[in-house]
């Protein structure tokens, strides 16, 4: 079983994506952006390998305007060496990647132009995966689309348009239930007709169910029947509802107790779980550590080095409890560890606690900082106490100093998120 996340990272330097407005998309600008985004993707892949993450969704925006006529670059040739290098890292690490076109890639639209654009977009996504040189178990996930006042006709249109796709696209395409129009039963029916694997999304099924009496595990097992050996092992999407937002909105983080209950109910490991969650890689590492058969306290200690000052800022009492928890080097209290972190991060930050954490960070370079840097930091602390500046100002200042003095321990910290 592999557990992964989608598109972007949280708290990992040099992994962001860049784009531009359509009117500015000239050759020079596009070359610059593609180079930047591929460097970011390679950094993400390197991060994933280092952190034992073997499931990842590549952003559709990796090539700006990749399916738009404004981008007429042969980017697959221009950047072939970098694509090959990234693809080699993916393959040799045992990682599996996917892509997921956005809401405007609608294959069953009654409008010819929309369908033509969708076909071009699917070709673009396929071109990325093919250029990486990775197998067809690395997939493209697609929703069925709209209903357009006639669901039966819309389904027939999807099937008809699917059959017109290039074989290279068909080999990678898999379909997923959504939270509005096409429930899991609909998608299974379509998948059986066109012989395409089906991805089960638990939150979409919660919001848009077909049969509430059937469990997630029932539908997961039904979907497994659509996956063939050449497609790789079955893949599902897992997310949790954000209690403060509308139905179907992803949570800010994965609540570990709830995830572990779901995980233990699967009772099999021939399945890949893509997490859809706001804190991305943070939740992926959390879930991997809690389900790992290699129960090494060192993995939790590495995590603690990243979380510790964020926790200290939110809750000194939980900070002390976590330090006690990790004292036993023969134990592996992963779930308890993450529950304490979740508890700490749910608490409101106070001025006193935030200054305490900032002073701990300052301690890493107070002996090497210049008098000007020291005076600037202390002045900001005083202004913050008096309500004359923000905590963000203090953190930005500390980040710049950490970069200047190459404090990698701090640069990897989630304190600066």
Along the 417 residues of the chain, how does pLDDT read in single tens digits?
999 999 999 999 999 999 999 999 999 999 999 999 999 999 999 999 999 999 999 999 999 998 999 989 999 999 999 999 999 999 999 999 999 999 999 999 999 999 999 999 999 999 999 999 999 999 999 999 999 999 999 999 999 999 999 999 999 999 999 999 999 999 999 999 999 999 999 999 999 999 999 999 999 999 999 999 999 999 999 999 999 999 999 999 999 999 999 999 998 999 999 999 999 999 999 999 999 988 889 999 999 999 999 999 999 999 999 999 999 999 999 999 999 999 999 999 999 999 999 999 999 998 899 999 999 999 999 999 999 999 999 999 999 999 999 999 999 999 998
Phi/psi of residue 87, nearest 5 degrees = -60, -40
Instruction: Please name every residue paired with 198 in a beta bridge, in sequence order, or none if there are none.
Output: 175
Q: Where are the domains of the chain?
A: 2-291, 297-345, 351-416
**pLDDT at site 301:** 96
Instruction: Please name every residue paired with 56 in a beta bridge, in sequence order, or none if there are none.
Output: 5, 97
Sign of the CA dihedral running 53, 54, 55, 58: positive
**pLDDT at site 47:** 97
- Spatial distance between the Cα atoms of 49 and 47, rounded to a whole number of angstroms: 5
Of 281, 274, 288, the C-alpha closest to 236 is 274
Q: Do residues 24 and 16 make contact, with C-beta atoms less than 8 angstroms apart?
A: no
Question: Using alpha carbons only, what angle is made at residue 405 by residues 399 and 407, rounded to the nearest 5 degrees?
Answer: 70
**pLDDT at site 86:** 98
**pLDDT at site 314:** 97
- Is 2-291 assigned to CATH 3.90.1170.30? no
- Give the pair of three-digit tokens for residue 52: 């034992």
Q: 293: which DSSP letter?
A: S
| Residue 2, SS3 per DSSP | strand
**pLDDT at site 294:** 87
Of 248, 319, 236, the C-alpha closest to 2 is 236
Of 264, 303, 259, 298, the C-alpha closest to 282 is 303
Of 158, 212, 167, 230, the C-alpha closest to 189 is 158
Residues 6+ apart with CB under 8 A from 254: 240, 275, 277, 279, 283, 286, 287
Maximum Cα interatomic distance, the chain, rounded to a whole number of Å: 73
**pLDDT at site 366:** 85
Neighbours of 298 (CB within 10 A): 8
Say which residue the tokens 């954000």 belong to: 242
pLDDT digits (tens, 9 = 90+) for 358-400: 999 999 998 899 999 999 999 999 999 999 999 999 999 999 9
Phi/psi of residue 180, nearest 5 degrees = -130, -50
Q: What is the 3-state secondary structure (H, E, C) of 313-377?
A: HHCHHHHHHHHHHCCCCCCCCHHHHHHHHHHHHCCCCCHHHHHHHHHHHHCCCCCCCCHHHHHHH
- Spatial distance between the Cα atoms of 239 and 37, rounded to a whole number of angstroms: 27
Q: 417: which DSSP letter?
A: -
């Amino acid at each position: 079983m592999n557990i992964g996340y989608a598109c972007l990272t949280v708290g990992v330097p040099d992994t962001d994506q860049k784009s531009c407005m359509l009117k500015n998309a000239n050759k020079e600008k596009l070359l610059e952006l593609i180079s930047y985004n591929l460097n970011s993707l390679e950094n993400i892949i390197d991060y994933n390998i280092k952190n034992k993450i073997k499931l990842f969704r590549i952003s559709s925006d990796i090539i700006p305007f990749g399916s738009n006529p404004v981008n007429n670059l042969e980017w697959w040739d221009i950047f072939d060496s970098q694509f090959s290098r990234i693809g080699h890292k993916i393959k040799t690490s045992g990682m599996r990647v996917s892509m997921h076109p956005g809401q405007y890639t609608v294959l069953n639209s009654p409008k010819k132009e929309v369908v033509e654009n969708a076909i071009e977009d699917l070709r673009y996504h396929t071109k990325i995966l093919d250029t990486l040189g990775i197998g067809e178990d690395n997939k493209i996930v697609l929703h069925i689309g709209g209903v357009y006042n006639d669901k039966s006709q819309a389904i027939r249109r999807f099937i008809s348009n699917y059959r017109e796709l290039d074989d290279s696209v068909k080999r990678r395409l898999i379909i997923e239930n959504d939270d509005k129009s096409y429930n899991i039963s609909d998608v299974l029916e379509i998948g059986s007709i066109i012989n395409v694997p089906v991805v089960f999304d638990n939150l979409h099924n919660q919001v848009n169910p077909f049969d509430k009496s059937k469990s997630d595990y029932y539908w997961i097992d039904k979907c497994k029947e659509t996956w063939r050996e050449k497609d790789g092992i079955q893949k599902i999407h897992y997310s949790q509802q954000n209690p403060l937002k509308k139905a179907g909105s992803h949570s800010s983080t994965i609540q570990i107790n709830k995830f572990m209950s779901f995980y233990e109910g699967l009772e099999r490991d021939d399945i890949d779980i893509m997490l859809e969650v706001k804190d991305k890689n943070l939740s992926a590492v959390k879930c991997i550590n809690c389900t790992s058969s290699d129960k090494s306290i060192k993995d939790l200690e590495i995590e603690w080095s990243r979380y510790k000052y964020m926790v200290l800022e939110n809750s000194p009492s939980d900070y002390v409890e976590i330090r006690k928890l990790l004292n036993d080097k023969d134990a592996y209290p992963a779930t308890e560890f993450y529950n304490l972190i979740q508890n700490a991060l749910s608490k409101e930050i106070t001025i006193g606690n935030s200054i305490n954490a900032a002073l701990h960070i300052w301690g890493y370079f107070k002996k090497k900082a210049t008098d000007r840097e020291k005076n600037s930091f202390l002045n900001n602390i005083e202004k913050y106490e008096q309500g004359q500046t923000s905590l963000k100002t203090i953190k930005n200042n500390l980040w710049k100093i950490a970069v200047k003095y190459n404090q990698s321990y701090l640069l990897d910290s989630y304190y600066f998120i």
